[in-house]
Structure 1
Amino acid sequence: MAEIRIENLHRRFGDFVAVRDSNLTIRNGDFFVLLGPSGCGKTTTLRMIAGLEIPTSGRILLDGEDVTFLRASHRDIAFVFQLFALYPHMNVGQNLAFPLKSQGTPRAEVKARVAEVARLLRIEHLLHSPVGRLAGGDRQRVALGRAIIRRPKAFLMDEPLGTLDAEFRDLMREELRQLHERIGATTVYVTHDQIEAMSMADQIAVMDKGVILQAGPPNEVYRRPATMFVAGFIGSPAMNFLPVTGPVAAGAQTIAVNGAHVTMPKLHEPLNHDRGVLGARPEHMELADAASFRGRVFGVEYLGARQLVTVDTSVGRVKVRAANTGKAKAGDTVGIDFRSEALVLFDGRTERALASDLMNGAPVEGRRAAHG
């Protein structure tokens, strides 16, 4: 297995820039997810790592070797596509064996490795079955087996669960993560689904418009988003954004939101204009009768032990994930308190998060830069 590093990676198609000067290190053995909306550049980045696209500029290193201009067949990487690339005239065992037979692997070794992969993927009972009769989840296991059997340095997966229904997708998400734990392979996984990313990844890189906006562990990206796009893309419901009365001095711990004074982590840098934006996740807000920030309940969704309360305020609609007491009803006027230790202040002009004491005092920008 291997570390993958991309340096100043750039891909242009005519006047359109698909990937812009990206830098990223994917550690040996990590399950790394490239996350973002359609057209953000994540699949183009994956295809360049695989050797299916050639960069306009920049470098790709696999296990320390510069592979930027090597053909895909010379990179020792296995690619798993969204659509199952299986041979319909072969059964499961023959599909698994095909990559090894193509390389001239001795028959006894082929047989042993097919049996090994079948056990790993729990498809021993399907080895003699035609692939055309398999369910979607089983076909995906066979496609994964075809990649695993080669024992490559890294696995690249482009939305491999996208064609499965919800039940199969949930099951395969768990199985893919367990498979990763068993084989310890460096894996790069592309998806637009934040649930897949948050539940499976060791590290996430969030992309938009060809740019890597932030990279880090899922919990850090969720709690300390580097930009408003990251904050709005990750989380369901998304982070609430509220305008701040500025400017705000460095060292401040109180900001004004529609006349209400909100305590937040100590700022390490100033906001020098009046276009600040406070970011607060729904679970970092709570209903409180005496709070000075107030609004009218638009609707309530009951979610078991919790409820999601939508509140219209004079500065916009917000969502609060509150205890399910049954007290909040549409039309009620309510107060909203904020959990000060979890709030983020954004520069509304650049949409960048301002550095603060959030999460043990590590500046957001410094940590983001370390991840490229």
Structure 2
Amino acid sequence: MAEIRLENLHKAFGDFTAVRESSFTIADGEFFVMLGPSGCGKTTTLRMIAGLELPTSGRILLDGEDVTWNRASARDIAFVFQLFALYPHMTVRRNISFPLRIAGLPRKEVRERTESVAKLLQIEHLLDRGVGGLAAGDRQRVALGRAIVRRAKAFLMDEPLGALDAEFRDVMCEELRVLHNRIGATTVYVTHDQVEAMSMADRICVMNHAEVLQIGSPLEVYDRPATKFVAGFIGSPSMNFLPAKGGLPAGSRAIRVNGSEIAIPETQASLESAEAFVGARPEHIQITGEGALRGRVFGVEYMGARQLVTVDTDVGRLRVRSPNTLRVNDGETVGLDFMTERLAVFDAATDRAVPTLRAEGGLNG
């Protein structure tokens, strides 16, 4: 397998910039997920790595070799498309073995490798069936098999689970991660689904408007988002944002929100503007009798051992995740307190997190 390194990779279509000066390294054997909304540049980046698109500028290195201008067929990379791209007139066996037969490998080796991959994907009983009558999940396994059988240096996957229903998508997420661990492949996976990213990735690359905003482990991007966009895009429900005004010099331990003072982790830098947002995950807000803020309960969603309480306040509608043993009713006035050490602060002028000293001793931002 191989390390993939991108250096100042840039792609423009006329006046439109699809990917802007992206630089990062994907480690050998890593499951690397590119996450972001439609049109953010993640698929274009993947296609440039594959050689299906040529960059406007920058370099792509695969296992130390500069492959920027190499054709796709010369990059030793396997690509799995969202819509499977199978040959409908062929059996499962012939679909999986197609790359090996094209490469001219001996028949015995083709048969052995095809059957080995089919066993790995648990579709050996389907080898002599046509692909047309297969369920979507089985067709996806065939597409994966055709990629794996090549034993390429890296596997690139462009939203491969997008055509599956939600229940089966969850199953395939688990199976893909197990498969990755078995073969030790360098895998680059593109998705707009944060659940897929959080459940499978070693590291996540969050993109928006052609730019890489943050790269980190699922825990890092969830717990220490680098920008307000990342904080809002990751998490379900997403982070709550409370508008705050007034200067915030380095060393601040509190910020004013709607006339109330809310404690925050100690800031390590000053705000560039007089406006900011305090970010709080739903599980980092507590419903109390009084509280730093007060609001009226808009609705309660019961979710087993937990419940999601929506509270209307003077600074907006907030979502609170709390134990279902706490009884609140629609229309009831409640107080809200915040877990100081878990809060984030974002500069309204730059959208970026203000570095703060977390209670556990680490910097946030």
Normalised to the residue count of structure 1, the TM-score between the two structures is 0.96
Amino acid at match of 1:340: T
- 2:305 & 2:119 partners in 1: Cα distance? 40
Please give the alpha-carbon distance, in whole angstroms, between the structure 1 residues aligned to 2:6 and 2:363.
Answer: 24
Offset of residue 89 of structure 1? 1.5
State the distance in 2 between where 1:148 and 1:64 align.
22
Residue in 2 aligned with 1:123? 123
SS in 1 for 2:266: coil
In structure 2, what is the Cα distance between the partners aligned to 1:71 and 1:214?
30
Taking a change above 3 Å as real, the CA distance of residues 304 and 117 of structure 1, as seen in their structure-2 partners, is same
Q: Where does residue 199 of structure 1 map in the other structure?
A: 199
1:106 is aligned to 106
Alignment partner of 1:349: what SS? coil
Q: How far apart in 2 are the matches of 1:73 and 1:315?
A: 55
Q: Deviations over 1:134-175 (max 9, x none)?
A: 110000000000000000000000000111111221111111
Given that residues 269 and 355 in structure 1 are in contact (C-alpha distance below 8 angstroms), is that contact kept between their aligned partners in structure 2? yes
How far residue 86 of structure 1 moved from its aligned partner, in angstroms, is: 1.2
What secondary structure sits across from 1:150 in the alignment?
A: coil
* Kept after mapping to 2: 8 A contact 1:265/1:357: yes
Q: Give the CA deviation at 1:360.
A: 4.6
Q: 263-272 or 273-282, which moves further after superposition?
A: 263-272
Match of residue 28 from structure 1: 28
The answer to whether the 8 A contact 2:204-2:218 is kept is yes
Q: Give me the whole-angstrom Cα distance separating, in 2, the residues matched to 1:304 and 1:167.
A: 19
- Residue 178 of structure 1: how far off its partner (Å): 0.6
Q: CA deviation at 1:263?
A: 1.6
**1:71 equivalenced with 2:71 (yes/no):** yes
Cα offset for 1:200?
0.6
Residues 298-347 of structure 1: CA distance to partner in whole angstroms, max 9, x if unpaired? 11111111111111111111111111125211111100010111100000
Q: Distance in 1 between matches of 2:308 and 2:141?
A: 37
**Contact 1:246 1:272 (C-alpha < 8 Å) held by counterparts:** no
Give 3-state SS (helix, strand or coil) of 1:243's partner: strand
User: Distance between the aligned counterparts of 1:102 and 1:292, measured in 2?
Assistant: 68
1:240 maps to amino acid: N
Q: Deviations over 1:110-156 (max 9, x none)?
A: 11101110111011111111111111000000000000000000000
Name structure 2 gaps, 5 residues minimum: none
CA distance in 1: counterparts of 2:46 and 2:143, whole angstroms: 18
Corresponding residue for residue 368 of structure 1: none
User: Which residue number corresponds to residue 344 of structure 1?
Assistant: 344
Instruction: Using the TM superposition, give the Cα deviation of residue 261 of structure 1 relative to its aligned residue in structure 2, in angstroms.
Output: 2.1
TM-superposed CA distance for 1:359, in Å, is 7.2
Partner of 1:280: 280
Match of 1:5 in 2: 5
The answer for the alignment partner of 1:268 in structure 2 is 268
Match of residue 318 from structure 1: 318
- Counterpart for residue 164 of structure 2: 164
**Cα distance, 1:291 vs structure 2:** 1.2
Q: Hey, what's the Cα distance between the residues in 2 that align with 1:207 and 1:65?
A: 26
Partner amino acid for 1:4?
Answer: I
Q: Distance in 2 between matches of 1:74 and 1:199?
A: 32
Give the structure 2 partner of residue 184 of structure 1. 184
CA contact (8 A) 2:265 2:359 kept: no
Tell me the distance in 1 between the aligned counterparts of 2:119 and 2:306. Answer: 41
CA contact (8 A) 1:293 1:335 kept: yes
Looking at structure 2, the residues matched to 343 and 232 of structure 1 have their Cα atoms a distance apart, in angstroms, of: 14
Letter in 2 for 1:145: G
Work out the CA distance in 2 between the residues paired with 1:129 and 1:359: 59
Q: Tell me by how many angstroms 1:249 deviates.
A: 1.7
Is the CA contact (8 Å cut-off) linking 2:357 and 2:364 kept in structure 1? no
3-state SS of paired residue (1:345): strand
Q: Is the 8 A contact 1:276 1:348 kept in 2?
A: yes
CA distance in 2, matches of 1:73, 1:273: 51
CA contact (8 A) 1:22 1:212 kept: yes
Alignment check: 8 A CA contact 2:262 2:292 kept: no
Deviation at residue 11 of structure 1 after TM alignment: 0.2
- State how far apart, in whole Å, the 1-side matches of 2:156 and 2:360 are: 34
2:89–2:130: 8 Å Cα contact kept in structure 1?
yes
Q: Deviations over 1:78-122 (max 9, x none)?
A: 000001111111111111111101000011111110111011101
**Matching residue of 2:216:** 216
What are the ranges of 5 or more consecutive residues in structure 1 without an aligned counterpart? 366-372
The DSSP-based 3-state class of the residue aligned with 1:177 is helix
SS in structure 2 opposite 1:204? strand
Alignment RMSD (CA, Å): 1.2
Q: Is the 8 A contact 1:158 1:191 kept in 2?
A: yes
Does residue 240 in structure 1 map to residue 248 in structure 2? no
SS in 2 for 1:238: coil
Alpha-carbon offset, residue 241 of structure 1:
0.5
In 2, are the aligned partners of 1:97 and 1:114 still within 8 Å (CA)? yes
Establish whether residue 335 from structure 1 lines up as the match of residue 335 from structure 2.
yes
Measure the CA separation in 2 of the matches of 1:189 and 1:275: 37
SS state at 2:225 partner: coil
Q: What is aligned with 1:291? A: 291
Counterpart Cα distance in 2 of 1:305 and 1:344: 27
Q: What's the counterpart of residue 154 of structure 1? A: 154
